Chains A and B, each alone.
Chain A
Amino acid sequence: SQQGEEDPQALSIQEGENATMNCSYKTSINNLQWYRQNSGRGLVHLILIRSNEREKHSGRLRVTLDTSKKSSSLLITASRAADTASYFCATSNSGGSNYKLTFGKGTLLTVNP
Chain B
Amino acid sequence: DAGVTQSPTHLIKTRGQHVTLRCSPISGHKSVSWYQQVLGQGPQFIFQYYEKEERGRGNFPDRFSARQFPNYSSELNVNALLLGDSALYLCASSFQPLTGIYGYTFGSGTRLTVV
Measuring CB to CB, which residues of chain B are less than 8 angstroms from any residue of chain A? 4, 33, 35, 37, 39-45, 48, 50, 55-56, 58-59, 88, 90, 92, 97-109, 111
Contact = CB atoms under 8 A, between A and B. Distances in A.
Interface of A: 1-2, 4, 30-31, 33, 35, 40-45, 48, 88, 90, 92, 97-106
B20 to A, nearest CB: 19
Contact of A42 (B48, B50, B108): B108
Contacts, number: 75
Contacts of A45: 102-106
Interface of B is mostly: loop
Contacts of B103: 33, 35, 45, 48
A41 B99 contact: no
A48 B56 contact: no
Given A44-B106, A45-B103, A98 B98 contact: yes
B79 to A, nearest CB: 23
